[in-house]
Structure formats: C-alpha cells, structure tokens
Structure 1
Amino acid sequence: MSVVVAPFVDAEHPADPYPGSVPGHSYVHHGGRGWPLRPDQAACAGWRVGRRDLDDWLAERDAPPVAARVPLLTYGSNRNPAKLTWLREHLGLPGPVVLIRATTYDLAAVWAAGLRARDGQRPATLCARPGAVESHAVWLATPEQVLALDRCEGRGERYRLARVRTGRVVLEDGATVDAPWAYTAASQVRLPLLVDGRPVRCVDIGQSDALALRGEAGPDGLDVSEVDGPPRADEWPDRLFVYGTLQPGAAGWPLLAPFVVGPGRPATLPGVVHDTGRGYPALRLDSDDLVPGQVLTLRDPAAALPRLDRYEGEEFRRVRVRLPDGSVCWTYVWTNLDDLHRMPALPHGWPVT
C-alpha cells in the first residue's frame, strides 16, 4: 500500500517579512508546491517522497539525481518556498529544488550591514559564532540552479560563492556535510552589522527590529575558499567506500591507487553484497546488515570519479551514502534489482584475492 504525501502550497509559507516562513521538514519544491522528504538509506537518493525514491521522483520530471547536485548551505530567504517560485518567475530557476533541513554548529545567520535594493529589507549573512547551534537548510543544487542563485545573490559583487570550512553542518538524517558551498559576504553591505561591536543573530530579532539597528560593518570570521566558476558535484565528498575489486590488492586497485591519499580506514555500510558470478560483487542498500569495506580519500575526486564510472560501467550507479559515523562517501550500487534477487548474498563481504 502506497503512502500518500500531501503537498503544501507557497501560500502556507509567505516570503514577507524576510527571510520568510520555512517548513519544519526537508522538502522538494516544484511548480509552486512542496512535498515533504524523509530520510531512508535504502533509497539511492538517501531520501523518499512517500515511498518513492527521490531520485526516481526527480527522473519522472527530467531532473538530475541527488548525486549530480552540490550541497549549498542556505540560511536566509532561499529556503522559503515562495522565494523559490519568485526565482523561477524572475531569474529562470530550473527544475525541482531539493532542500534538506540541517543543524549548523559554530555558525550563525546574522543581519547584514546593508539593505536589499529590491525591497529595502535587511538580509542575512553568514558568520562564525563559536558555540552557536542553529537550524538552516542545505540546498542540493544543480549547476543550472546555482547560476540562477548567482544572479540573485550578486555573485562577485554582494556575495561570493565559497566553500565554508568553519563550523559543522549536519543534515536531518545525521550526515555531515564537509565544507559546504555557501554565499558569503563579498562587499561591505553584506558583511555582518556590528552593534556595540557584536553581530546580531537573525534568530534573536525580527525584520522590523533589524531595520532599526545602527552599527558598522565588521568581519565575518569565516574560513572560506572562494569558488572559481561553477561548482562540480563530483567534488563532494572526497571519500570513496570500496567493498569489491577497487579495494587495495584487488583487480581494480591499480586504476584507483594513483588518486588515493594516505591509507584507507576500515568501515561498514548498511546493505548486502551479492555474488554476480562474474568475478566482482554487487551492492544493494535495502538492508540493515553491514557490508565491510574501506574508506579511501581521493586527491582529486572530480578527476578520479569519471574514470571509475567508466570502469564500473552501466551495471553500477554511483551514489552518496552515509556511514554509521555520519560521514558521507561515494560508492557504487547495482542498478538492476531483479538481477540481485537471483544472485546469492555474501554474508561476510567480498574477499580480496
């Protein structure tokens, strides 16, 4: 029996006053409506719309899967459903938007020094704030969606697109996002407004009171590296979970070895490995069993992963998975579940020979 997921409409979450109303759950948004998401490690996307794998839901709308999207930390109006519709109507934002609730540590959304030219409201900006714990969202964005956001945020003028290494970002499912992309201050008007020498958190006062604030622009204290050009989904994460022929000492290791930094570490992943009978194993994720393997760090994942994709071929699909410790890795799963039902499971993993 299928689970009916009732969508919500933009009117339930008005955009004014800035930063607007935000749903209390992760959601996917398209055509003026949003659908709640729930985490599920058995889904290739890691998320479901009702019983549907989010990747399948996206494919039905000719949209890229989760693995082709970058994690963009959003802390202002870009997590408001009505704002998403505005972006579609005015800046050509394409396709469904995937927004995952996230908790940030040692980071804060604070009021910026300048006002928005569009409506005179005071926008948010990101800053370092030791000890702060806040609720925000991570937008799993396609490169085309980032281009629309670049125009909205005035990339290179008001904000810059950067990888943020300050603090910690943990998704609703417990996954940790290392160095997420985010729009951070690029000019005086988007630096934090310091009142009596301190930034003012957006959670502490609303828009009307924020407009009355008086102070001066100050540093955001963030450790960031500005992004040159469009972000690439293959850049995150820089870790790969291997359980078969790509393990050190196995047949595929010579292809992978030049891209690996340092020694691997033992790890387990919820799932089951099957014997294909062809000299290599096949992984499926819909199980509470634990598959043993290794986590390897890649020197240049954007260069390594396309080569590994060709090696694995069309029988396998590269997805992001969450390990029990919350770290996110790439791995390869078998694409045809009907095949797996005819293949014997390997209860102790795949031995390296």
Structure 2
Amino acid sequence: MAQPFTDDRHPAEPYPGTRPEHCFVHLDETGWPVTPDLAMESGWRVEPENVDLDQWLADRGEPPLAGRMPVLGYGSNANPSKVTWLRDELGLVGPAVVLRARCEGLAAVWAAGLRTRDGQRCATLAAAPGSAEEHSVWFATPEQLRVLDRCEGRGLRYRLVRLHTGRVTLQNGGVIDSVLAYTAASKNRLPVLFNGRMVRCSEIEQEYTRHLGDRPVPSDGLDVTEVHGAPSADDWPELLFVYGTLMPGASAWHLMEPHVTGTPDVVRLAGTLHDTGLGYPAFRPGTGPGVPGYVVRLRSPEDALPLLDEYEGDEYRRVRVVLPGGRIAWTYLWTSPIENMPVLPDGWVH
C-alpha cells in the first residue's frame, strides 16, 4: 500500500522539480497518495488511511472536490516542494489536491523567457497534435486559485483560460473538458523557437536550456477562452445526471426543464438505487449493474445548481461523477444510511 511522503522526496530545484508518479493530497510538507475508487462518494481514496478524499478534507475543515476547480499543472505546480513554497511565500492555505492526468494533443515546452527570481527557464503550454504527456490537475479552492494567479502573474506573464485544445483525462477515466490553465500572456512566456521548432521540457533538462535563445514562436497553437474575473466551482461541468424526480416526465421535471438545453441522453451510472419509502430514491455509488437515468446539459450551471441544491435538501450531496465514455457530470448522492432500504428495479415509477 502506498505511504505518505515528505517534500524531500521531490525537490523543487532545478525547475520544474520532480513529481510523484501518483495522485496526491498535500499538507504540512507531506503528501498522501490518492487512488481512484468508485465505492467512495468522491470517487477517490486517500492512502494508507483508506478514507474517502472528501471525508479526509472534511476532517480538516476543508471544501470537498465539488467546491474546487480543476486547473492544469504542467510545470512546477505539480511538485510537492513548490506547494510548500506557495504556502511559505504566497500564503496558500488548506490541502492541495493534485490528481495525475494524461494530456493528449498538448505539451509542456520551454518558454522564450527566464524567471526573474533565479534566471531559470520557464515552462509554458503549447498544442502538440498526436502527442501524449503525463501532467497533473489541481482541484483548487477559490482562495488557492487566487494564490496561483499571483504566482503565475495572471494578466502579465500568463493568462487564465479555459482550454479547448487536446484531451485531459484523469486516472479515474474522467475527461475534463475546458480545463482551466495558465497559458502565455506575454512574448517571453510563449514557447521558444529553436531550430525551427518548439522544445518540449521532457527533451532537455533545465541546465541545458541556456542555448535555446529567446526567440518566441508566433503562436502556441492553443484554442482557448480567456477567463475574466473569478471562476466558480459551479461553472464546470455543465452536465447533470438525474435518476429520480428530476428526470424528464417525473414529478419535479418542471423545476429542471427551464434550465436545460438540448435533448437529455439516456445513461446508466455505476451504483445502486434504493427505495427511501418517501416517494423519492436514494442513489449510492459503487460498481453493480448501474442506475438508469438521464444526462441533461444546463444552460447556466451557476444559476441552476443552487436552486437544485435547495430542492434536494440536506438529505443529498452534490458531487461530480464519471459517466460511461469519460464525460463528467454532477449528480446528487444520498447522505443518510441505506440499511433496510430495498433496491429499486430499473422500472421504478416515480
């Protein structure tokens, strides 16, 4: 079983430092390995305690994954010692949740400029058709995102964007569409042009980057939408999996319908549906044959979700789940015990 590790296992120097081969949550100069687990409410398990990641966070008074925003980390932000530096120098608070991701069609490349504070060459992001690299996704709280903004020089050196190029897939199979990322906002953060091409960070180490020069490429090739202002955790995803009274034609569909765009898709989600005896079902995650329901697309998640949270009440908790094929959607989990609740059949009528 994987064990906790300390920062000295992953030094930050030379930039971009080293990174664990697994997902982790980091606090007080220590990282705990995190692994996918469908039986957990969050879909992730913290080792070696064998506890749900959301519970691990709650035990420390911190927001769950549903209250965090996915931000691509392709440079030093995936390094545990850098996380500690962010705490010491920029006031980062709370656990940092850093999940490994396979990035297709994207590459971390050396930038045209150097870091002012130590003269090391920076990494930046670029389109790389046909390629695949392993990087990480921070699930950042709003406060942590403000620290990352300061670290990256948002608006000056890098800009915060929603990334439409490539495919970012977490280790649990979830695909993060339109992931947040910091990409070049100035010429010296554009990829460096050397011998007519960009140079991947994986090709040469920091100490050999001096000879690359400082000529930037005309464009990083990325399709992005710049983020203005502060994004919200409710912004993503736009999809919602409904399995009970909120389904099309069900008793509460009239609450959903004004917020839905497009045609709902029929989907089966891993888990079990139980009969509460109260006229509405209780969904619990797991493996099993799966629960039939619908996936709807919300016109404005940040407007619709607070209304649906109020409708569902304290008996349910909103989480992100991975659908068949890798799409990620919100859904509502039953939070109370399910002992003595019968399992509902597929043909349950609401």
Pick the TM interval, shorter chain.
over 0.9
Aligned match of 1:272? 272
Please say if residues 111 and 192 of structure 1, whose CA atoms lie closer than 8 Å, have aligned partners that are also in contact: yes
- Structure 2: state its 5+ residue gaps: none
Q: What are the equivalent positions in structure 2 for 1:195-206 lying under 5 Å apart?
A: 195-206=194-205
Aligned match of 1:345? 343
Shift of 1:252: 1.1
RMSD (Å) for aligned C-alpha atoms: 1.1
Shift of 1:230: 1.5
Shift of 1:275: 1.0
1:119 aligned partner, one-letter code: D
Q: How many percent identity over aligned positions? A: 57
Aligned match of 2:313? 313
Please say if residues 261 and 296 of structure 2, whose CA atoms lie closer than 8 Å, have aligned partners that are also in contact: yes
Please say if residues 69 and 142 of structure 1, whose CA atoms lie closer than 8 Å, have aligned partners that are also in contact: yes
Query: SS of 2:113's equivalent?
Result: coil
Aligned match of 1:28? 25
Please say if residues 243 and 350 of structure 1, whose CA atoms lie closer than 8 Å, have aligned partners that are also in contact: no
**For each residue in 1:158-217, what CA deviation from the matched residue of structure 2 results, as whole angstroms up to 9, or x when unmatched?**
001110000100011111000100001001111111112311111111101112212511
TM-score, structure 1 normalization: 0.96
Aligned match of 1:283? 283
Shift of 1:244: 0.4
Q: What are the equivalent positions in structure 2 for 1:195-344 lying under 5 Å apart?
A: 195-218=194-217, 219-336=219-336, 338=337, 340-344=338-342
Distance 1:349 1:312 in 2: 22
Please say if residues 34 and 46 of structure 2, whose CA atoms lie closer than 8 Å, have aligned partners that are also in contact: yes
1:300 aligned partner, one-letter code: S
Which residue of 40, 44, 51 maps to 2:41? 44
Distance 2:9 2:210 in 1: 25
Aligned match of 2:183? 184
Per mean C-alpha deviation after superposition, the further-off stretch among 306-315 and 188-197 is 188-197
Please say if residues 241 and 293 of structure 1, whose CA atoms lie closer than 8 Å, have aligned partners that are also in contact: yes
Distance 2:305 2:230 in 1: 18
Query: SS of 1:104's equivalent?
Result: strand
Aligned match of 1:78? 77
**For each residue in 1:27-48, what CA deviation from the matched residue of structure 2 results, as whole angstroms up to 9, or x when unmatched?**
0000000000010112121111
- Structure 1: state its 5+ residue gaps: none
Q: List 4+ stretches of structure 1 deviating above 4 A.
A: none
TM-score, structure 2 normalization: 0.97
Query: Structure 1 residues 131, 287: closer, same or farther in 2, change over 3 A?
Result: closer
Q: Would you say 1:8 and 2:5 are equivalent positions?
A: yes
Shift of 1:84: 0.3
Query: SS of 2:22's equivalent?
Result: coil
Query: SS of 1:88's equivalent?
Result: helix
Distance 1:26 1:349 in 2: 39
Please say if residues 45 and 55 of structure 1, whose CA atoms lie closer than 8 Å, have aligned partners that are also in contact: yes
Q: What are the equivalent positions in structure 2 for 1:129-144 lying under 5 Å apart?
A: 129-144=128-143
Please say if residues 281 and 350 of structure 1, whose CA atoms lie closer than 8 Å, have aligned partners that are also in contact: no
